[in-house]
Amino acid sequence: MVMSSKAGPRAEGTDGSDWKHREKVAHQYVVSVKYKKAMQRTLVYHGMLGVSLLVSALVSGINTLYTWQVLWLAAFPSCAIGFRGITKNKTSFMSIYKVCLLAFSMPACIFGILASLGFVGHYEFYKISGLSKPSHYFMPASNFVIYFLGGTTFLSHFFSLVCISKLTTAWNVTNRTRKNKGE
């Protein structure tokens, strides 16, 4: 028995171009792949900012941070939960990450931008925590840096929320299909 190859004989009645009707991927799997890649990018961005803020806070002292920076830093560990959620396709982890974004990250970004623009005051963390007053604060010399980082971080978190919504919808369709088939 001889197997056909690319150069070998084809099945009778076909030229090999009729494969499109056979290879259809379900929509929820296409959506899942697309938004998982996007989530990875936003999680990496969130992680890089979190690591840089954490390192700079450790070097210059945690009492040099403003309250909104500490609040945003509190949400940084949720990146691990988000990564776990997209690697295991778990909606429960994605829901936890979503709550962390909505409760900590997004309000911190909004408050940081508003404080940098002068609409609200900066609240010093050392007063709330009882630490000593710092000789300087951890803020860049130019507010443009804060506007850029705050704006891009806010948009990244907003895009993460959109991705979470799309992923959980796609994963719930897959789970409902499995339950209906009795797997």
What's the pLDDT tens digit per position in 52-107? Answer: 888 888 887 777 777 888 888 888 888 999 999 999 988 999 999 999 999 999 98
- In angstroms, the first-to-last Cα distance of the chain is 38
Q: In the numeric block, which tokens belong to residue 75?
A: 């949400």
Token pair, residue 103, equals 């409760």
Distance, CA of 94 to CA of 80 (rounded, Å): 11
Residues 6+ apart with CB under 8 A from 154: 106, 109, 110, 113
pLDDT score, position 26:
76
**Inter-residue contact 115 to 121 (CB < 8 Å):** yes
Least confident of 30-34, 66-70, 116-120, 173-177: 173-177
The DSSP call for residue 1 is: -
